[in-house]
Amino acid sequence: MNIPLISIITVVYNSEKYIEKTLKSIAEQTSQNFEYIIIDGHSTDETLNIVSKYKHCVNILISEPDKGLYDAMNKGLQQAKGKYVWFINSGDRFFSSDTIAKIEDFHKQYPHADIFYGQTQLIDEQDNITGMRRKVAPENLTAKSLTMGLVVCHQSILVKREIAPLYDLSYKIAADYEWVLSSLESSIEIINTHLILSKFLENGFSSRNVEHALKDRLIIMLKHYGFFTTVYAHIRITVQWIKNKCKI
């Protein structure tokens, strides 16, 4: 049995407006060295009918109720058989049709890499490019890098499946932050592709969600970094925020 290089996982629920653009992005890849897993939360709109049009590139489709986004993502991880896992959710897409082919080339150069990562372009609901992600992935990404927040977009990081943890469902908003942090802590070889890997659809968070995410992130940072590093990191983040506000 040939193991695919990448398990692409898409989590979706009632996303008839966006899912086809993601599916097209998958179907148009020039390299087919991947398996495609869709975890649907039992959509009641046209999502599944749209997915059925692309069944030729979908390896696994699970449609059933779940306990939320991170529970669905865990289902995807549990189904994955590829060497690396990559989350591209509904509305998001690969940067170009040869993105996976380029990852293949990097893998040939670095066959033992634990993580490949890159940058992220932002798009709006009309597919207009709104710029690059404000948090730029650093030249050398490590677990320590995340003291400044989630500096690498979830859609622009590939993690070796054997070190990828399940999401901690006790974090309702920021489980992706701990997932990336835990993956980095378990990694030895982390490769910066210096590529834009994904286009991320900005849907926006409510202020309530942002507040909840910050609380979750504080708990996660205390758990992984300890008290003093966490306090120092928040001082740095505050100073940087003030500097950015002064530039406006």
Report yes or no: 83 and 53 within 8 Å, Cβ to Cβ: no
**Would you place residue 211 in the very low, low, confident or very high pLDDT band (cuts 50, 70, 90)?**
confident
Bridge partners, 103 (sequence order): none
For residue 118, the enclosing domain spans 6-205
What's the average model confidence in pLDDT over 190-214? 81
Domain-located, residue 231: no
Q: How confident is the model over 144-199, as pLDDT tens digits?
A: 999 999 999 999 999 999 999 999 999 988 999 999 999 999 999 999 999 999 99
Domain-located, residue 194: yes
Domain-located, residue 128: yes
**Would you place residue 245 in the very low, low, confident or very high pLDDT band (cuts 50, 70, 90)?**
low
The CA distance from 194 to 202, in Å, is 22
What's the average model confidence in pLDDT over 128-146? 95
Residue 238: per-residue pLDDT: 74
Answer yes or no: is pLDDT of 207 > 50: no
**Would you place residue 237 in the very low, low, confident or very high pLDDT band (cuts 50, 70, 90)?**
confident
What's the distance, CA 201 to chain centroid? 12
What's the average model confidence in pLDDT over 6-16? 97
Bridge partners, 40 (sequence order): 12, 63
SS3 state at 118: strand
Residue 215: per-residue pLDDT: 87
Domain-located, residue 197: yes
Q: What is the DSSP string of 61-74?
A: EEE---SSHHHHHH
Number of Cβ within 10 Å of residue 118's Cβ equals 24
Bridge partners, 119 (sequence order): 196
Structure tokens at 32: 């087919």
Q: How confident is the model over 31-76, as pLDDT tens digits?
A: 999 999 999 999 999 999 999 999 999 999 999 999 999 999 999 9
SS3 state at 99: helix
What's the average model confidence in pLDDT over 218-231? 93
Report yes or no: 18 and 90 within 8 Å, Cβ to Cβ: yes
Answer yes or no: is pLDDT of 206 > 50: no
Residue with more model confidence, 137 or 247:
137
Domain-located, residue 229: no
User: What does the buried/exposed string (b/e) look like for 124-143 if buried means 16 or more CB atoms within 10 Å of the residue's CB?
Assistant: eeeeeeeeebeeebeeebeb
Domain-located, residue 28: yes
The CA distance from 98 to 197, in Å, is 10
DSSP 90: T
Q: Which CATH number do you get for residue 47?
A: 3.90.550.10
Q: How confident is the model over 86-110, as pLDDT tens digits?
A: 999 999 999 999 999 999 999 999 9
Domain-located, residue 105: yes
**Would you place residue 203 in the very low, low, confident or very high pLDDT band (cuts 50, 70, 90)?**
confident
Q: Which of 9, 117, 16, 19 is nearest to 71 (CA)?
A: 9
Per the structure, how many domains does the chain have? Answer: 1
Q: Is the dihedral of CA 203, 93, 141, 242 positive or negative?
A: negative
Number of Cβ within 10 Å of residue 238's Cβ equals 10
Predicted structure pTM score: 0.92
The CA distance from 51 to 47, in Å, is 6
